[in-house]
Amino acid sequence: MSDVDITAARAVDEPGFVRPNLKRRMLEGRAVKNNVLTVLTWIIAILAAIPLVSVIFMLLMRGGTRLFGADFVEVLTALPPAGFEMGGGIGPAIVGTLAMVGIASVISVPFGIMAAIYLAILGPTSKLATTARFLAKVLTGFPSILAGVFVYAVLVANFGYSPWAGGVALAVLMLPTVVLAAEEAIAQVPQRMKDAAFGIGCTRTQVIWKVVLPTGLPGILTGVMLAIAGAAGESAPLLFTALFSSYYIESLSAVNNPTASLSILIYNFSGMPFENQIELAWTASLVLVLIVLVFNILARLFGQPKD
């Protein structure tokens, strides 16, 4: 690599000066160590990709046969089968999941964005903002099952299982994600744009509505989509808030109205000794992963113009 002898000039007049060895040899200890570690890193990187490949392969092989087969309409719309029954589908679970994620979004998105506006613009260094920001960060690491326990104590113990209880539990989990993502997006709106708006006599509300929110929208939407994707895949908080049901939800009643969801269907069917149910669990997993994936892709699309 380096045949240029840069030490030649000094070496002559300093007795005892040892020339540093600037040649790199392949079998030198440090070179070998370097190469071994590089190979190891490549192996680890490839190993880490294996689970994902395996999960996707299994989803397509075991879930795909049913979903992309001839009776896909039945799979997507029929009621789940009982015991030894053949056929059946996951219709109620799909509707239930979408309904509860919808409820959770309706609750958490407006609250989350308003809170983010306060944290990013109205009082970024106030005591309330510092506390709220810290607690939102703590909540992102909050075990999802505890959201279920909380909602059980507040809603289910009084009104029974319902899509609202499930939706509220999901909203508790979505809220910190929405707040933190929206705050970051809003904080990135350039100060001079806000200054210009203030300069022509806008109130803070007008600055926020007409300048900050439209400019920060892509970032906010990215956060919202990621929060929805996360909520759609959640199951622990639904376990004892929405429970499960084999039928379509007939109303959005908040009293004694157990609701099906894809994730609980997978959980229930995964332990059953019937091949038909296990196959449906894989199909439901594929549908669930596709739903989550759609929201993830949407998040990336919204996030793109920023780069």
Partner 1 sequence: MPNNPFTQAGSSSTITRPPSGAERTGDTVFRGIAYACAGLIVLLVIAILWQLGREAAPAMAEHGLGFWYGTTWDVNKEQFGVLPEIWGTLYSSLLALLLGGIFGIAIAIFLTQDFIHHRLAVVFRTIVELLAAIPSVVYGLWGIYVLIPLIRPAADWLHEQLGWFPLFGTSMSGPGLAPAALVLAIMILPTVAAISVDAFRRIPYKVKEAAYGMGTTKWEAILKVMLPTASSGILAALVLGFGRALGETMALAMLIGNANQISWSLFAPANTLASLLASNFPEAGAVEVQALMYAALVLLLITFIVNVVGLAVQQYTMRKFEGKQ
Residues between 93 and 132 with contacts to partner 1, criterion CB under 8 A: 111-112, 114-115, 117-119, 122-123, 128-129, 131-132
Cβ closer to partner 1: 103 or 115? 115
Our finding on whether 178 is near partner 1 (CB under 8 A) is no
Rounded distance, CA 165 to CA 156, Å?
7
- Residue 233: which of 190, 298, 294 has the closest Cα? 294
Give helix 262-270 / helix 91-117 axis angle, nearest 10°. Answer: 130
Cβ(284)–Cβ(265) below 8 Å: yes
Cα Rg of the chain (Å, integer): 28
Applying CB under 8 A, the span of 66-74, 216-224, 245-253, 286-294 interacting with partner 1 comes to 286-294
Applying CB under 8 A, the span of 67-75, 185-193, 202-210, 216-224 interacting with partner 1 comes to 202-210
Nearest distance in Å: CB 236, partner 1: 4
Applying CB under 8 A, the span of 7-15, 66-74, 210-218, 279-287 interacting with partner 1 comes to 279-287
Nearest distance in Å: CB 116, partner 1: 9
Among 15, 16, 51, 273, binds partner 1 (CB under 8 A): 51
Rounded distance, CA 180 to CA 294, Å?
22
One-letter amino acid of 70: A
Q: Please state the separation of Cα 68 from the chain's center in Å.
A: 26
One-letter amino acid of 237: P
Among 78, 79, 149, 187, binds partner 1 (CB under 8 A): 149
Applying CB under 8 A, the span of 43-51, 70-78, 80-88, 249-257 interacting with partner 1 comes to 43-51
DSSP code at position 189: S
Our finding on whether 287 is near partner 1 (CB under 8 A) is no
One-letter amino acid of 276: N
Our finding on whether 235 is near partner 1 (CB under 8 A) is yes
Rounded distance, CA 257 to CA 243, Å?
9
Among 16, 83, 201, 273, binds partner 1 (CB under 8 A): 201
